[in-house]
Structure 1
Amino acid sequence: MKEKLSRSITTLGFSVLAINGFIGAGIFLLPAAAAESTGSFSPWMFVICGLLMSTIVLSFAQLASYYRGTGGPVLYANEAFGPLVGFQTGWLLYVGRVTALAANSNALIIYLSFLFPIFSDGIMHGFALSAVILLLTASNVFGVRSAMGTISVLTFLKLAPLLLFIVVGLAWIDVDQIFSVKDAPLDKVSTSLLLLVYAFVGFEGAVVPAGEAKDPKKSIPRALIQSVIFTIILYFLVQSITVSVLEQAGSSKAPLSDAAGVMFGSWGVLLLTITAILSITGNLAATFFAAPRMTYALANEKSLPAWFGKINEKYKVPANSIYFMSALALVLAISGSFVWLAIISSLARLIGFAVCMLALIKLKSKQDGLVEKVLQMFVPLLGLSVCIWLSTQASNQAWMLTLGFIVLGTGLYYLARIKR
């Protein structure tokens, strides 16, 4: 199936997608949990987790420089290991994106309920979830420029207050406390890192619409590298300010809002609550843009029914894939909790990342010369090790549900093959 998508996304556009993938609900929900487990050492936990995840991000940047076309991980795994593995990789990452979208939709409504208590539970909670997902569906169906415009505006609106929080908060940082690592709780490092993985996933959405890039071999690697560096610095500063301002940051339900209240007063609480809403909405918009391109790519590879690959002739977008994801996300959002959906999202994506690391290792193994080969394989081997280690931290229940998704995906794959 020949690609008919518009090639109009620049480096800035891919950076926006990656940053929105990184910075969503996590920056407002994770600081308290990190502070509870590792205290004043928690800013460094974000740095450590970011550096570990950077091995995966850098590997994706290398893969993006080798391949041109829509699909990202689907394309990489398919070229390296064949259509079935390519499909399962894409399917797992798709599950990871949709479950994250459902989880963050719940988080968005939780924050909205602080401003509008009517949405806190019951029928109105479900109505609010439906409204959010339907509005995002409409934005994406009306074309790439409409979707990217929505994402770009939300990115600016969420980053501006966070940067203000950082600029003012720098004066509040207790340098001695942050840089005193002698009391680092080493026994809680692995548990905390597993939790913080959720802060550093979502970037893979930026490589999926490569077929809509003006120059994917240059723009995507550059965007990924810039985005991960920016995100590590942002999380480190936000966490440093939070644990310095709040003595009991670990027990706060809304740590950034509470910290803003100390620094700015009551208007600061309102500002950060609104920022949280905008941030999560931006993350949802980025996910809604990237994830349907995954099922579109799978349809291109004849791994899903042709229905998923149908393009809206007027707006040149994969409309049916957008509609399908909208319905699936709504069902998951209404039926699942934020925590459970976030766990499944992280595990599914780590498995998909591992396959991509193996694809890059296979590609690098063809290099001439032993020394050159070892050097080229070093980063993806580290990335693979990170994926395996973090995946082993997941519960048996999370593994069972993820395996259930794999079985479902396999059934859909063979059903599509029979129909083709």
Structure 2
Amino acid sequence: MPNAFMNPNSSLENKQEKLPRNLGLWGIWMLVVNGLIGAGIFGLPSGAAALAGEYSILIYAFCALLILPVILCFAELGSYFKGTGGPVKYGTLAFGPFIGFQGGWLYYLARLISFSANTVLLTDSIAYFIPAAAESLGRLISLAVICLSLSLVNVLGSVESIRSMTVFTVIKFAVLILLPIGGFILLGAEVIPSFSSPIPPFTDLGSAALLLIYAFVGFEGAVVPAGEAKRPERDMPLGLLLGLAVVAILYMLIQLVTQASVPNLADSKTPLLDASAALFGNPGAIILMVGVAASVIANLLGSMFSSTRLTYALSLENSLPKWFGEVHPKFLTPANSVIFFGICAFLLSAFGSFTVLAAMTVLSRLFLYIMSCAAIPRLRSQFIAKDRFILKGGYTVPVLGILACLWLMIQVSIQSIWMTALFIAIGTGLYWMGRKRGV
């Protein structure tokens, strides 16, 4: 079978697609913000304060600017394609099917492992209210219920997934916005830092940037389900850029209020919980825990939605068995891909250790970002049209995106590099097995 991705003008891609186009700008924006805002923001303010002190708010702004060229590259690439796959399509058309598959494979693993780790975090949040959920059998039951419920929502349809995500996104933002609003009302001018303390050493500022940059990754999940977007050429760029802007501002406001309300912020293990308790008492702490649960659930919904579309796209490209590309006859969703993801997520969350694996996800994402930025010089000439989002300044933005990712790669541990190399080797084996068998 010819590769549909190798001819941008081919109608084969659209003929293969069987998923209905229900995603508008609102749905894409929610995928972006829920990819960015997971559980990290609930613990990052203390680490940022320990490294950068009152200058930590400036590090958030720096990280947003650091990731901006990468997001701009995804915005341009997202306007090129109207089919499912995202980075798989970019890498395949620009560098061939092997590179495209590796990018998709590493992305899928990163999202699967992150999903599993956040499922454990959600179980811990539930245990805050129901202690039995943290016990051995109760924990397994809680994990199974979470994975099963999220899988069911995703099988029932994209509309149901987006509706569910909307509910939890509204709750999450209501709680997160309440914190800075309450802080500004109750603390007034105390929220604004004086910047009178000595500037921390450059090494500490660099470490703070490395820590906080991970609060700005995950946006790439929004471009994968382009085959379900109504107008991806317009909505993908807008959703990505609006998502980054809203999240960056929210992060900075939360940091300001948290460091003003918690005197020993650098030593806090639960900075937002401590800030809520300091501002609103015990009811504030309970409300914040509800926000944690809502934030994680919204993140999990978005992660499963985009990740399962990736295995669907890889199946259409003949890089995975056809079973992954089958669509439910009634709900018109990639049900097999959803079920497979849900089972793997449960097994990882129930029996896996995530310390080393979580670190591996960072390097795999950086590889994905570099591949996507590098794809623009090879693809732009094929897609220049009046309805595409084309970056100004030639290839300056893609180069800046690649340089930013390379700088971050330098900070990654040797252990993470070996783990990533191992998964690349496994992916290579799966790829050649699939090609050899012609599935």
**Which of the five TM-score ranges fits, normalised by the shorter chain?**
over 0.9
Q: How does 1:384-399 map to 2 (within 5 A)?
A: 384-399=402-417
Q: Does 1:88 align with 2:102?
A: yes
The 2-side partners of 1:44 and 1:245 are apart by 18
The 2-side partners of 1:339 and 1:155 are apart by 27
Give the one of 42, 47, 51 matched to 2:65: 51
Q: Secondary structure at the match of 2:82?
A: coil
Q: Does 1:142 align with 2:156?
A: yes
Higher mean C-alpha deviation, range 340-349 or range 90-99: 340-349
Code of the aligned partner of 2:282:
S
Sort the Cα spacing of 1:8 and 1:345 in 2 relative to 1 into closer, same or farther, 3 A. same
Shift of 1:366: 8.2
Q: Is the 8 A contact 2:193 2:256 kept in 1?
A: no
1:242 aligned partner? 258
Runs of 4+ with deviation above 4 angstroms: 178-182, 364-368
Higher mean C-alpha deviation, range 182-191 or range 68-77: 182-191
Q: Is the 8 A contact 1:55 1:379 kept in 2?
A: yes
Q: Does 1:417 align with 2:431?
A: no
Code of the aligned partner of 1:412:
L
The 2-side partners of 1:198 and 1:256 are apart by 18
The 2-side partners of 1:94 and 1:407 are apart by 15
Q: How does 1:189-228 map to 2 (within 5 A)?
A: 189-228=205-244
Q: Is the 8 A contact 1:25 1:279 kept in 2?
A: yes
* TM-score (norm. length: structure 2): 0.91
1:256 aligned partner? 272
The 1-side partners of 2:298 and 2:334 are apart by 20
The 1-side partners of 2:54 and 2:392 are apart by 38
Higher mean C-alpha deviation, range 268-277 or range 169-178: 169-178
Q: Is the 8 A contact 1:23 1:231 kept in 2?
A: yes
Q: Secondary structure at the match of 1:376?
A: coil
Shift of 1:207: 0.4
Code of the aligned partner of 2:97:
P
The 1-side partners of 2:184 and 2:362 are apart by 31
Sort the Cα spacing of 1:343 and 1:92 in 2 relative to 1 into closer, same or farther, 3 A. same
Code of the aligned partner of 1:184:
P
1:277 aligned partner? 293
1:314 aligned partner? 330
The 2-side partners of 1:17 and 1:215 are apart by 15
Q: Which runs of 5+ in 1 are unaligned?
A: none
The 1-side partners of 2:108 and 2:421 are apart by 14
1:290 aligned partner? 306
1:16 aligned partner? 30
Q: Secondary structure at the match of 1:272?
A: helix
The 1-side partners of 2:354 and 2:65 are apart by 26
The 1-side partners of 2:334 and 2:126 are apart by 30
Shift of 1:203: 0.7
Shift of 1:118: 1.9
Shift of 1:332: 2.1
Shift of 1:16: 0.7
The 2-side partners of 1:10 and 1:204 are apart by 17
Sort the Cα spacing of 1:338 and 1:257 in 2 relative to 1 into closer, same or farther, 3 A. farther
The 2-side partners of 1:227 and 1:142 are apart by 26
Code of the aligned partner of 1:160:
A
Q: Which runs of 5+ in 2 are unaligned?
A: 1-12, 385-389
